[in-house]
Amino acid sequence: MDWGMKNRLARILRPADGHTVMLAVDHGYFLGPISRLERPAETIEPLLPHADALMPARGVVRNCIEAAADIPIVLRVSGGNSIVGEDLSKEDITTSVEEAIRLNASAMALSIYVGGKYEHQTLVNLSRLVDEGNRYGIPVLAVTAVGKELAKRDARYLGLACRIAAELGASFVKTYYCENFEKVANGSLVPLVIAGGPKLDTVYDAFRIAHEAMSAGAAGVDFGRNIWQAENPVATVRAVRAIVHDEADAKAAGELYDELVGGSKKKK
Ligand code: 5RP
């Protein structure tokens, strides 16, 4: 691997432990202004000191993040779909590698829809993006998207999708946590970070899946809604950080969260 590629990856997956806490804020590219991301700058700013990397699309980078911010950007470069459109899997590359360089991106992120109507298109897009990224030393994060079919999130399916992403050259993969996640991690070839998905009932559920994923071989999280839609986003990300970087279990993370929000009363 070339020096530039290694250097960019090391800004995301922290060299001390190879782990990362990424903050996903790219949702608007197909979901529009969802709750708590109507004004991304206000949501993102207090969380930045507690994240290792940020995952936005270019509109949020240019309009909502200070250019002086000291945070690696994993730039969402795929899109062209919407929640009200024909099929979520109909995605293409929407941002050029030159634009990623202009924005000083540390990595580029693109969704693949294995088993989806436009599976072939999204997998070929991944391969092309990896070729472009390799030319300039920019790693690619493949996101194993499932569209509206959340039921597909089992180890057999996610193992397949993650392995295909790695075989096509992704440097790391964002996927969902599932039962038997060890199987997904064992066959993935490259580091995995997990998405949180729609907001869970409580932050303690998010701590549980973060801890189980880390124990099963994940390299970190790329949580969005389960951080910034939580009642106390800063306390939530700090507790998740303790799991990812300090080997805290879900109970210890919950206690840290309770302490940070100022009492043992459990809050959502
Ligand atoms: C869709 C995505 C999302 O845009 C987002 O990054 C997911 O984050 P979370 O599920 O944690 O809110 O990647 O495939």
Domain CATH for 153: 3.20.20.70
Q: Where are the beta strands (DSSP E) in 105-210?
A: 107-112, 140-144, 172-176, 192-195
Query: Residue 195: CB within 6 Å of ligand 1?
Result: yes
- Report if residue 265 sits inside a domain: no
Q: Is residue 69 part of a domain?
A: yes
Nearest CA to ligand 1 atom 14: 145
* Cα of 25 from ligand 1 centre, angstroms: 8
Residue 85, SS3?
A: coil
Q: Taking residues 36-48, what's their average pLDDT?
A: 97
Q: Give yes or no for a contact between 119 and 113, defined as CB atoms under 8 angstroms apart.
A: yes
Share of the chain above pLDDT 70, in %: 97
**By residue range, what is the domain housing residue 39?**
3-260
Does residue 146 belong to any structural domain of this protein? yes
In a domain, 153, yes or no: yes
Q: Is 26 in the pocket of ligand 1 (CB under 6 A)?
A: yes
54 lies in a domain?
yes
Amino acid 50: pLDDT: 98
Average pLDDT over residues 60-84: 97
How many whole angstroms from 177 Cα to the centroid of ligand 1?
13
H or E element that contains 253:
helix 250-260
Site to substitute for ligand 1 among 20, 27, 88, most atoms within 8 A of C-beta:
27
Mean pLDDT over residues 15-29, rounded? 97
Tokens 């969402």, residue located: 76
Domain annotation covers residue 267: no
Q: What is the pTM of this model?
A: 0.95
Q: Which atom of ligand 1 is nearest to the CA of 27?
A: 4
Question: Which residue's alpha carbon is nearest to atom 1 within ligand 1?
Answer: 145
Residues marked as catalytic: 174
Please report whether residue 266 resides in a domain: no
**Residues 6+ away with beta carbon under 8 Å from 44:** 23, 25, 54, 56, 60, 64, 65, 228
* Total domains in the fold of the chain: 1
Locate 218 and state its tokens: 């994940």
Kindly give the distance from the C-alpha atom of residue 54 to the centroid of ligand 1, in angstroms, as a whole number.
Answer: 12
d(CA 161, CA 69): 34
Q: Which of 26, 193, 237 to mutate to test the pocket of ligand 1 (most atoms within 8 A of CB)?
A: 26
Would residue 268 count as lying in a domain?
A: no
**Average pLDDT over every residue of 169-183:** 97
Residue 200 has pLDDT above 80, yes or no: yes
Residue 223 Cα: closest atom of ligand 1: 11
**Residue 147 pLDDT grade (very low, low, confident, very high; cuts 50, 70, 90):** confident
For residue 197, the ligand 1 atom closest to its alpha carbon is 10
CB-based burial label for 157 (10 Å; 0-12, 13-18, 19+): buried
